[in-house]
């Protein structure tokens, strides 16, 4: 059933009548991995997998929610002490609180919501949920006076303050600013951004989810960040955004081999994002794909955040003639993102499914995505 019908029908049966429909989307990131905390660039876009909510102010100071997908209800007040116990409801509570903290108005409302962004697959269903409600509260209670950057920050602060996830701004940014057939190059240092048309003719974007998540000891993410900070300090710069390979090579003897490799990846990845944007402007999809493979190689060999399963997915993609393929997200499991020519799509999906299953005993999940609009009112 279409999301819109599902949500409207559930609203009618739970609360009676109808509210206003809002939606926001999950996201992909074409290239630019581990660059955000180094002040570099990322290149995300919103996708055609969304969270949709039907919402109506109820004239009280209470929020009543129904999650269709979980078949659970939650109710809460709007004061800090009223936080609900259910995790999924805390996302909505957080968005209400963060809107209020910024001087925005939020009153009681009834809402039902559902989505088709796979949960925890690296497509940021949580950002879709936050930005859907942030956008809706802005429209319903604030006459759209809160700007889009603030809406993204409301989502990010929700993760920080109500969900215990210390994330950057990319996911919420992509969800809020996402535009059909456009990727967004975001400069994580200045927060300046630019849209790049990304209408794939003859290619598809496919995520292959390994469905593994390696439990890691000794927090490798913190160690990666530490390496980047060590090198930046040695170079006397704020972040590796300001470094190039010449500068790095000049201090090679003074830093550990590990720190060198980590910094090398970050410096090269920053350049690759810019190169992908140039290639896209020329319509040169083959080069975009080569740069994606280069990112995978760097993540695997220099940054060392890959794993056997992800490297295997990348190898299969290469063997099948997939144009570009790389790990998407932090690594150690999750998805690869693949740029696949129409002509080889069926063979690739069949091959990757069969081979991965033969080696690991379970099939990967396949998600086709199309770059679409982010947060919006649905008519």
Catalytic residue IDs: 171
67 vs 338, beta carbon nearer ligand ADP: 67
289 vs 334, beta carbon nearer ligand ADP: 334
Label each residue of 153-218 as H, E or C.
Answer: HHHHHHHHHHCCCCCCCHHHHHHHHCECCEEEEEECCCCCEEEEECCCCCEEEEEEEEEEECCCCC
User: Is 175 among the residues that bind Mg ion (CB under 5 A)?
Assistant: no
Query: In angstroms, rounded to a whole number, what is the distance separating the alpha carbons of residues 219 and 189?
Result: 25
The distance of closest approach from Cβ of residue 54 to ligand ADP in the complex, given in angstroms and rounded to an integer, is 14
288 vs 328, beta carbon nearer ligand ADP: 328
Query: In angstroms, rounded to a whole number, what is the distance separating the alpha carbons of residues 89 and 228?
Result: 36
116 vs 353, beta carbon nearer ligand ADP: 116
Indicate which of Mg ion, ligand ADP, none lies near residue 67 (CB less than 5 to 8 Å, by partner kind). ligand ADP
Indicate which of ligand ADP, Mg ion, none lies near residue 119 (CB less than 5 to 8 Å, by partner kind). ligand ADP
String marking each residue 206-225 x if it binds Mg ion according to CB under 5 A: --------------------
The distance of closest approach from Cβ of residue 329 to ligand ADP in the complex, given in angstroms and rounded to an integer, is 8
Q: How far is CA 17 from CA 54, 75, 110, 113, in A?
A: 11, 19, 11, 15
Q: Which residues pair with 120 in a beta bridge?
A: none
83 vs 237, beta carbon nearer ligand ADP: 83
The distance of closest approach from Cβ of residue 91 to ligand ADP in the complex, given in angstroms and rounded to an integer, is 6
Query: In angstroms, rounded to a whole number, what is the distance separating the alpha carbons of residues 153 and 60?
Result: 27
Indicate which of ligand ADP, Mg ion, none lies near residue 300 (CB less than 5 to 8 Å, by partner kind). none
The distance of closest approach from Cβ of residue 348 to Mg ion in the complex, given in angstroms and rounded to an integer, is 28
10 vs 30, beta carbon nearer ligand ADP: 10
Binding positions for Mg ion, 124-153, rule CB under 5 A = 124, 126
The CA-to-CA distance between both ends of the chain, in Å, stands at 17
Residues comprising the chain, all counted: 379
Contact between 88 and 72 (Cβ < 8 Å): yes
The distance of closest approach from Cβ of residue 362 to Mg ion in the complex, given in angstroms and rounded to an integer, is 23
Segment contacting Mg ion by CB under 5 A, of 22-30, 123-131, 340-348, 363-371? 123-131
Query: In angstroms, rounded to a whole number, what is the distance separating the alpha carbons of residues 298 and 41?
Result: 16
Task: Outline where the chain has alpha helix (H).
Answer: 3-15, 87-101, 125-141, 148-162, 170-177, 220-235, 245-250, 257-282, 285-297, 308-319, 345-360
SS3 (DSSP) at 72: strand
Q: How far is CA 224 from CA 3, 66, 261, 297, 336, in A?
A: 40, 40, 10, 17, 20
Other C-beta atoms closer than 10 Å to the C-beta of 190 total 9
133 vs 293, beta carbon nearer Mg ion: 133
Q: Which residues in this chain contact ligand ADP in the complex, by CB under 6 A?
A: 51, 67, 69-70, 87-88, 91, 114-115, 117, 119-120, 122-126, 129
Indicate which of ligand ADP, Mg ion, none lies near residue 122 (CB less than 5 to 8 Å, by partner kind). ligand ADP
Q: Positive or negative CA dihedral for 330, 216, 128, 202? A: positive
SS3 (DSSP) at 120: coil
The distance of closest approach from Cβ of residue 209 to ligand ADP in the complex, given in angstroms and rounded to an integer, is 11
Segment contacting Mg ion by CB under 5 A, of 19-27, 119-127, 175-183, 301-309? 119-127
Indicate which of ligand ADP, Mg ion, none lies near residue 129 (CB less than 5 to 8 Å, by partner kind). ligand ADP
Segment contacting Mg ion by CB under 5 A, of 26-34, 92-100, 120-128, 309-317? 120-128
Indicate which of Mg ion, ligand ADP, none lies near residue 271 (CB less than 5 to 8 Å, by partner kind). none
Indicate which of Mg ion, ligand ADP, none lies near residue 88 (CB less than 5 to 8 Å, by partner kind). ligand ADP
The distance of closest approach from Cβ of residue 69 to Mg ion in the complex, given in angstroms and rounded to an integer, is 15
Query: In angstroms, rounded to a whole number, what is the distance separating the alpha carbons of residues 326 and 294?
Result: 8
Measured at CB, which residue is nearest to Mg ion? 126
Interface positions with Mg ion (CB under 5 A): 124, 126
């Amino acid at each position: 059933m279409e999301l819109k019908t599902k949500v409207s029908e559930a609203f009618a049966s739970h609360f009676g009548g109808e509210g206003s429909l809002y939606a926001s989307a999950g996201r992909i990131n074409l290239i630019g991995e581990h660059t955000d905390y180094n002040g570099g660039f990322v290149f995300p876009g919103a996708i055609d997998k969304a969270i949709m909510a039907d919402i109506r102010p109820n004239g009280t100071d209470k929020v009543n929610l129904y999650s269709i997908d979980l078949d659970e209800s939650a109710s809460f007040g709007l004061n800090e002490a009223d936080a609900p116990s259910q995790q999924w409801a805390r996302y909505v509570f957080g968005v209400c609180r963060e809107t209020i903290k910024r001087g925005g108005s939020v009153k009681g409302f009834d809402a039902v919501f559902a989505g088709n962004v796979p949960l925890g697959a690296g497509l940021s269903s949580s950002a879709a949920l936050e930005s859907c409600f942030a956008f809706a509260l802005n429209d319903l209670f604030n006459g759209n006076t809160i700007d889009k950057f603030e809406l993204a920050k409301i989502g990010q602060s929700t993760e920080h303050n109500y969900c215990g996830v210390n994330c950057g701004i990319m996911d919420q940014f992509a969800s809020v600013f996402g535009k059909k057939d456009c990727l967004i190059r975001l400069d994580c240092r200045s927060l300046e951004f630019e849209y790049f048309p990304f209408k794939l003719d003859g290619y598809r974007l496919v995520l292959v989810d390994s469905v593994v998540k390696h439990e890691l000891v000794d927090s490798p993410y913190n160690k990666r960040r530490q390496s980047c900070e060590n090198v930046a300090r040695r170079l006397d710069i704020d972040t590796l955004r300001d470094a190039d390979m010449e500068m790095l090579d000049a201090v090679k003897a003074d830093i550990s081999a590990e720190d060198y490799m980590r910094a090398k990846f970050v410096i090269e990845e920053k350049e690759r994002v810019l190169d992908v944007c140039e290639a896209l402007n020329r319509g040169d999809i083959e080069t975009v794909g080569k740069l994606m493979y280069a990112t995978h190689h760097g993540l695997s060999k220099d940054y060392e955040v890959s794993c056997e399963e992800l490297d295997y997915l990348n190898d299969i993609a290469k063997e099948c003639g997939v144009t570009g393929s790389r790990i998407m997200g932090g690594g150690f499991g999750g998805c690869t993102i693949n740029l696949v020519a129409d002509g080889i799509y069926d063979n690739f999906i069949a091959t990757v499914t069969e081979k991965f299953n033969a080696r690991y005993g379970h099939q990967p999940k396949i998600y086709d995505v199309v770059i679409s609009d982010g947060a919006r009112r649905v008519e």
